[in-house]
Every structure is written in C-alpha cells, then in structure tokens.
C-alpha cells in the first residue's frame, strides 16, 4: 500500500469559510490535516462557480480549476445548509460540475447544518445524488441542528459530542480513502 498522503477537498454549500457550513468543513479539514492528510477548501466566494448552463460557463477558468482539483483529490468532506428541506442551490450547483470521472470510486463524508431541528433530509438527498456520480459516501454522517448555538465566540464547538461525531466521520473517510485507493494498486 502506498505511503502517499490522502488528498482531501472540502466543499461547502454556503459562500465563505466563515459561514456555518464553511466552519464545519474547515473543522473537519483541520482534523484530517492533524491525521496526516493534505487538505484544500474550495471557497465559492473567492472562486465562484457559474450556474451550469449559463453563458460562457463551459470555458470558465474556475470550473476547469475545480474539476482538476477534484480529479486529483482522493476524498471529499462536504457540508450543506438545509434550505427548504434539502441541500442549498450552491451545494447542488457545485455537485453539478462534478462527474463520475472526477469523483467516481472516491470517499465522501457528509454533513449538514440547520437553523431548526436536526434531521437527515439533506444528508439523504446528497447520498442519493452521489449514487449518480458513482461516489462512496461513508455510513457515518453529521447533522447539526440549531446551528447558531453550535459554535462559541471563538468558532469552537459548544458540544463535545459534535466534535466526537465529526472526528468519527473524518476517521471513516480517511480509512475508506486508503481502502479505495488500494484497489487501484
């Protein structure tokens, strides 16, 4: 088995790393980095992805960079806010720029944030969608309800159980990425 570092790309269904979903992804990436992974966060505010189908989108430089980065990545950590019972439009459009050739056979860790009560709608919808991309979402997942109370003023989680679940999710993604990579060797 190769000793190469696992490369993880973080995707958020909200603009900016300071949004709640951006914070979730960056906490997950930070933990993955502490476990030896190479991590990158795609910030849609800094490098917006056009809507699929809009004028000029097929030659967009951000899209080309995003797809190349996804192709080079071994695994993905993703968090979407729940909007009207499902993932945000930003999240769906981000996924719509990805195809089997970029993410097929690769591990995904799924998270969601909600203003209201925690549920699994957005997680389940992302899980179904990933089937069409031939990707491998791990069984562990994390939904954070009442998300405005989930972080303290320093941006740290207020509930140690959230940290425990987040670490379990990332550990599973890292283990799955190693297993899935070893199939190609």
Ligand X SMILES: Cc1cc2nc3c(=O)[nH]c(=O)nc-3n(C[C@H](O)[C@H](O)[C@H](O)COP(=O)(O)O)c2cc1C
Is 113 a residue that touches ligand X (CB under 6 A)? yes
Q: Distance (Å, rounded) from C-alpha 42 to C-alpha 47?
A: 8
* Interaction between residue 152 and ligand X (CB under 6 A): no
Q: Which C-beta is closer to ligand X: that of 13 or that of 109?
A: 13
Q: Which is nearer to ligand X, 46 or 65 (CB)?
A: 46
> By rule CB under 6 A, what count of residues binds ligand X?
14
String marking each residue 14-33 x if it binds ligand X according to CB under 6 A: x----xx-------------
CA atoms within 13 A on the CB side of 88: 20
| Choice between 84 and 161, CB closer to ligand X | 84
> Which residues of this protein are in contact with ligand X, per CB under 6 A?
14, 19-20, 81-85, 113-116, 147-148
């Amino acid at each position: 088995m190769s000793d190469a570092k696992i490369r993880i790309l973080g995707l958020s269904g909200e603009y900016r790393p300071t949004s709640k979903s951006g914070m979730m992804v960056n906490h997950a990436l930070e933990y993955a980095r502490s476990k030896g992974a190479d991590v990158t966060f795609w910030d849609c505010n800094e490098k917006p992805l056009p809507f699929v189908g809009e004028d000029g989108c097929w030659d967009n430089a951000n899209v080309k960079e995003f797809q190349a980065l996804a192709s080079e990545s071994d695994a993905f950590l993703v968090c979407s806010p729940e909007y009207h019972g499902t993932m945000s439009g930003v999240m769906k459009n981000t996924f719509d720029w990805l195809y089997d050739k970029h993410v097929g056979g690769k591990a995904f860790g799924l998270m969601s944030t909600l203003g209201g009560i925690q549920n699994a709608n957005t997680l389940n919808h992302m899980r179904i969608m990933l089937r069409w991309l031939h990707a491998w979402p791990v069984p562990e997942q994390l939904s954070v309800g009442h998300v405005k109370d989930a972080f303290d003023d320093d941006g740290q989680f207020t509930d140690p159980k959230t940290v425990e679940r987040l670490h379990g999710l990332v550990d599973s993604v890292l283990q799955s990425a190693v297993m899935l990579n070893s199939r190609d060797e």
